[in-house]
């Protein structure tokens, strides 16, 4: 096949938490909490439900580590009177390394 190297996507993906060019962009859009299955991304302009996103964000373990993968917007919080505006994103596919980082991040809470 001549298209082996091409990523076959059903829809366009948006990059979340790319390397920020300014502190203003960082302040307006960032991962504010994480679970084993996804993240809440604080954003003044949340994306629509079902949008696929490229995720790249940092967590602190022994060092600053980067989690990367693909997520899908499953919930939007657009009303600031009900809490921070943003979107709930479920992990669809993480890199193997990122999956291990999440396991390490939550290991102290597993009993």
DSSP 28-44: HEEEEEE-SSEEEEEES
What pLDDT, on the 0 to 100 scale, is given for residue 64?
A: 87
C-alpha R_g of the chain: 15
Decide: pTM greater than 0.85. Answer: no
CA atoms of 42 and 84, how far apart (whole Å): 7
Span 11-68, pLDDT tens digits:
455 454 444 444 444 444 567 788 899 999 988 889 999 999 999 888 888 888 899 9
Walk me through the domains of the chain, giving residue ranges and CATH numbers.
13-106 (2.40.10)
What pLDDT, on the 0 to 100 scale, is given for residue 111?
A: 67
């Amino acid at each position: 096949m001549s298209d082996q190297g091409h990523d076959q996507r059903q829809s366009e993906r948006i990059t979340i938490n790319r390397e920020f060019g300014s502190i203003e962009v960082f302040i307006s859009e960032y991962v504010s909490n994480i679970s084993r299955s996804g993240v809440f991304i604080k954003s003044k302009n949340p994306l629509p439900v079902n949008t696929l996103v490229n995720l790249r964000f940092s967590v602190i373990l022994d060092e600053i580590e980067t989690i990367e993968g693909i997520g899908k917007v499953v919930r939007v919080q657009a009303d600031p009177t009900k809490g921070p505006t943003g979107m709930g994103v479920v992990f669809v596919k993480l890199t193997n390394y990122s999956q291990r980082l999440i396991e390490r991040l939550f290991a102290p809470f597993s009993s």
